[in-house]
Amino acid sequence: MKKALILVLLLGSCLTSFGQSSDFILLKRGAKQKTQIRFYPGEEITYKSKKLGYFVTDVIESLDKDFIYLSENILAPADILEINIRHKDKRNSTLKNLNALFLGAGILLVSVEMVNSIYQNGDLEVSDGVAITSGILLGTGLAMLPLRYKTFKHEKRNNIQIILMRME
């Protein structure tokens, strides 16, 4: 029984070490963990290179020490000018949720005031204070819509690194 348990534990630890070794591209904006974005092989990446003046979407096939092998191209990290991170950056989901909170609060405040005035007075009325407050909430939500992180520019302290996590 002890030998079987030890064998299962050793086999499990070996399998988890192989499961964790994965290469990735690291977009590093600073030393903080939350500003780092990772792209793994098999994922789509939208980039603008020095050779092309527009964004191209491609799938990462594999990674080497100096090159990124895509399904239709081979790139060096130094050749990349920008990478589209709209759907990859975790901070965008926070901003999206904050926008939804402001917009929802404004709509809910006006709706509740309208329903309440119809129920109590029998006619549709919105008081000045509620109208101003809901207008501020809706305006804030609409003003924050374009504040999302769109691209990662490869310049100054922004680095693009290839991390190889292979066991050789």
Gap between the terminal Cα atoms of the chain: 34
Q: Is the pLDDT of residue 16 over 60?
A: no
What does 112-156 look like in DSSP terms, one character per residue?
Answer: HHHHHHHHHHSS----HHHHHHHHHHHHHHHHTGGGS--EEE-ST
Tell if the pTM clears 0.85, that is, is over it: no
Domain boundary assignment for the chain: 22-89+149-163, 91-147
The H helix count followed by the E strand count for the chain is 3, 9
What confidence score (pLDDT) does residue 6 get? 63
- Dihedral of CA atoms 105, 109, 110, 116 in degrees, nearest 10, equals 150
Task: Give residue-wise pLDDT tens across range 108-117.
Answer: 999 999 999 9
